[in-house]
Chain A
């Protein structure tokens, strides 16, 4: 039963390929065909719930830089399907097609992806930031964004002018002390300060 959902998609969309998956049936598609594929799954395969829309950042300079991942669930078949599409094209201004016309619930999910990764959704009715404030200059879940944050102006210009306050990076005393992902040897993977040029005794050098 579950294999048929991906089989139907592969018959309908010749460019679809199987996506390596250990849990749910999964399929890779060119991003432009994803809305049509999701509509096919919803209308013909009874996948009535759009559970999740998210993106993966494969690090700056990687090709593809971003992959969009959709998880659908069928309340009648009681199974999931994962549809993924690589966001090809310009790394600085990635664009993806919106699926808000299929599921209005995609509105906030796509706004979150835009907010966190800076991927613009074509056809989205109201593409604004959702978790960060309007006018925030960065996209925090991109890999080049540091864990401590980056100095940014306050959201309210009036208060900023009055108090001279800014949003500042978290003081991490040489940290963050983090382990690195991937199959590394212990010396490389063990938790360590990412920036060892400063600590509690030695102030952070001015950029």
Chain B
């Protein structure tokens, strides 16, 4: 008897509630402190059930005003600030900044300096992609990948420490050269690293490439079309994953990249899995470049020898000769002297294309320095591609975009 009058009523209620549910949107804030936002990104999302209807990324939590700071210091003083842009690959940032300012000064650095910079930039690329893969794996539940990739990064950090004196914030380049020459036997140790890294890389990639769970999470998720990628200014592996073979190392070679043979991998579908594959292959190509650099490592100077008002003279001469002492004093206090003008230089960094636009009125301090950061532009596509995604796919998407907030917020 009881069921007769209780049932129709609650059934109607349930039906009404269902209707309410489908029409009611829930707003959800992810971050700024969330394991898969890789830093301090906050996503203000609007959800219809589990599906995103709107996504508004809120950035700026790590804004330090690097461009303002740059206007108030000499060119060499800004090098440590470039470490803190993409802090996963500081050596690549150091190089991009140094080349930008050297273009302003119309200064050519010798072949040995270029080779050192290419070598360090490629090591930084491996370091960055390892971290990117590890974090991506972690986001989709593959903990082992992170452990194995951090293990390899430790070998890289040891090499960085020996070369630059620092594991993390390297500040290695100077305008017109690098801070110091490569230490005795260091190139051999880089070669040894390459020998044991390649099999280790295959082991890491084997954990993901044919992994059913990973494929289910990544294939067809977060598809970025070629047109969208170009319209939003995506660069680096994210653009190449969408099938555009833009690699400035090939297209506009700098620092002697034209001497080295390497391939530019591109994706076919533009999904998260393609971006993963592109990063994996780029690490193999980086090893290829590093081996070529070591094989034909040039001798000679590792700094521009005739850059009198730009690169500080060797320390032994500073301490014994008046002329060099004055020169050193001037470069340290007044900064490397630049002509007036403007220059825009972009380098192919691990995260994408890092650009520096330097406006000079002459003297040792830039009038304006704009940093075109790849992570900033790569993230600007989020409001577009997140719509229609499941909330769990957002995690995959963020992992596959491989951004770093230090660079995005500057």
Contacts and interface: CB of A to CB of B under 8 A. Distances in A.
B131 interface: no
A145 B359 contact: no
B380 A108 contact: yes
Nearest to A58: B367
A147 B70 CA distance: 10
A198 interface: no
A20 B341 contact: yes
A153 interface: no
A190 B365 CA distance: 10
A21 B341 CA distance: 7
Contacts of B63: 131-132
B359 A56 contact: yes
B2 interface: no
Contacts of A108: 376-377, 379-380
Nearest to A181: B365
Contacts of B376: 108, 112
A15 interface: no
B360 to A, nearest CB: 7
Contacts of A105: 231-234, 377, 380-381
A132 B370 CA distance: 17
Nearest to B333: A190
Given A75-B244, A82-B344, A140-B65, A48 B230 contact: yes
B390 interface: no
Interface residues of B, number: 57
Nearest to B378: A105
B13 interface: no
Interface in A155-180: 176, 178-180
B231 A104 contact: yes
Contact of A179 (B334, B367, B409): B334
B180 interface: no
B353 to A, nearest CB: 7
Chain A interface SS verdict (over half):
loop
Contact of A180 (B67, B233, B244, B363): B363
Interface in B344-381: 344-346, 353, 355, 357, 359-368, 370, 372, 376-377, 379-381
B103 interface: yes
Nearest to B252: A78
A39 interface: no
Contacts of B372: 51-52, 54, 71
Contacts of B148: none
A107 to B, nearest CB: 6
Interface in B55-78: 59-60, 63, 65, 67-69, 71-74
Contact of A52 (B72, B330, B344): B344
B28 to A, nearest CB: 19
Contact of B368 (A51, A56, A147): A56
A24 interface: yes
A182 interface: yes
B344 A24 contact: yes
Nearest to B368: A56
B239 to A, nearest CB: 9
Given A69-B357, A75-B244, A140-B65, A181 B71 contact: yes
B364 A189 contact: yes
A75 B367 contact: no
Nearest to B64: A131
A176 B70 CA distance: 12
A54 B365 contact: no
Contacts of A109: 233, 377, 380
21 contacts: A22-B342, A24-B344, A50-B233, A52-B357, A54-B357, A54-B372, A57-B368, A104-B232, A105-B377, A105-B381, A108-B376, A145-B68, A147-B69, A178-B73, A179-B73, A179-B334, A182-B361, A183-B361, A183-B362, A183-B363, A186-B333
Among all A-B residue pairs, the 3 with the closest Cβ atoms? A105-B233, A131-B60, A105-B232
